[in-house]
Amino acid sequence: MAADLERDIYDFIVIGGGILGMSTAWQLQQKYPGKSVLVLEKESSAAQHQTGHNSGVIHAGVYYKPGSLKAKFCKEGNRATKAFCLAHDIPFEQCGKLLVATDSAELERMQALIGRCAENGIEVDVLDQSMLKAKEPNIQGVGGLFVPSTGIVNYTQITQCMGDLIEQAGGHIHFNTAVTGIEEFADRVTVYTDGKRYHGRYLVACAGLQSDRVVRMMGLEPDFRIIPFRGEYFRLSAKHNQIVNHLIYPIPNPDLPFLGVHLTRMIDGSVTVGPNAVLAFKREGYKKTDVSLKDSFQMLTYPGMIKLLMKHFKASVSELKNSISKKGYLRLVQKYCPELSINDLESYPAGIRAQAVAKNGDVIDDFLFMNTSRSLAVCNAPSPAATSAIPIGKHIVDKVSALVDR
């Protein structure tokens, strides 16, 4: 960490040391050279939560509604992420993604994806059964959709690099600094932490799993709540590191909010299976046994939570059963990779997805922001937020600039 100079006030304070917070702080420095920037992160290092617990995929933007921020940011982020890696010698691989249809119903759903890709300007190749087998001999299906621009990377490495760039440009990063309160005045924002307070002219909150709580600290009342879903993974035994040439995804069910269990080649050469999506009883609880009474109470007493479960009751029960039963999890991946056995599934760290849910039980599917006259909060940053981190950071900086220029 760069040596910090005591100052009365920073020009910009950013809460959150994940990839969105670091991207925003880095781009604030580029927009406002010479201005002081401070990042506050409650953990001991960067990228400890969603950024460091995902599949490491550089998404292309296949699934997202045309005209949405998701679609826009993902397409821009796919290029920007690769360019950042090239500029800073961060390993990545453009291996491509193959969406596999295993029956006629999925083949029909695949047609809708083809149309969506065309609307979003995403290059895809449509494969019949023989072409699919030629591309992926170990994968079984009746057809597929190949997306060549998809890649893999270590997002923790990208985030750490952004942190280094922030400090090299004179910015400051304070780890082990949990925010406990925020107070806004006419000329500044004061951020309270354990034992210390910081003053900033403007504040940006990229608080991920704690985003709704930070919004309340800002004096706003969010019309959503963060519901944590644990994404459980397995890693394939090393003998299967070459089992696929690309990333292998199922054709998603449009009635469900998640993409389904997939085979992911990782940048370290291993292959993971997952994730599922199981309701978690602790916002930062990566183990099945992790429970927070506070988090559980706030979640289970939220009307939107009950409505969400009712809307997706069958799927929720199925996800829970497959979380408990390794055999059930295996059956999901055997639909398109039948040669895998239960002994091939080795333990691997889980992730937690911060899902914003509205009071009516709807999953908030796009990026969501709230602001005051001096503060801006990222309320919802769903996948593909890591892929999209650089254009999202630019979008945030543009929004902050509008506050500055008032």
Q: What is the pLDDT of residues 319-337, one digit of tens each?
A: 888 888 889 889 989 999 9
In angstroms, the CA 214 to CA 283 distance is 14
- Ranges of residues in the chain whose predicted pLDDT is under 70: 1-7, 256-257
User: Which residues are within 8 A (CB) of 359 and not within 5 positions of it... i.e. 6 or more apart?
Assistant: 223, 224, 302, 303, 304
pTM above 0.85, yes or no: yes
Give the pLDDT score at 295.
97
Span 156-207, pLDDT tens digits: 999 999 999 999 999 999 999 999 999 999 999 999 998 899 999 999 999 9
- Assess contact for 222 and 377: CB atoms under 8 A: no
Task: Convert 304-318 to b/e letters by CB count within 10 Å (16 or more is b).
Answer: bbebbbebbeebbee
The domain defined by 10-50+156-223+365-404 carries CATH number 3.50.50.60: yes
Q: Report residue 199 as tokens.
A: 């003053």
Quote the pLDDT of residue 257: 65
Measure the CA–CA gap between 307 and 360, rounded to whole angstroms.
7
Residue 358's alpha-carbon distances to 273, 302, 364, 379, 391, in angstroms, are 30, 10, 7, 12, 25
Cis geometry, peptide bond prior to residue 137 (ω within 30 degrees of 0) = no
The CATH class, in words, for 94-152+226-358 is alpha beta
Q: What is the pLDDT of residue 7?
A: 65
For the range 112-116, what are the long-range contacts, defined as Cβ-Cβ under 8 Å and sequence gap of 24 or more?
112/254, 113/62, 113/63, 113/145, 113/251, 114/145, 116/62, 116/63, 116/64, 116/65, 116/66
Cβ(170)–Cβ(58) below 8 Å = no
Helix (H, G, I), strand (E, B) or coil at 22: helix
Angle at 311 between CA 306 and CA 317, to 5 degrees: 85
- Angstrom distance (rounded) from CA 279 to CA 381: 18
Asked if 189 and 182 touch (Cβ cutoff 8 Å), the reply is: yes
Distance set, CA 392 to CA 41, 68, 117, 210 (Å): 19, 13, 21, 18
Radius of gyration of the chain measured on its C-alpha atoms: 21
Q: Where in the chain is the domain with CATH 3.30.9.10?
A: 94-152+226-358
Give ranges for CATH 3.50.50.60 in the chain: 10-50+156-223+365-404
Name which of 34, 46, 32 is nearest 400 in CA terms: 32
**279 with 127: CB under 8 angstroms?**
no
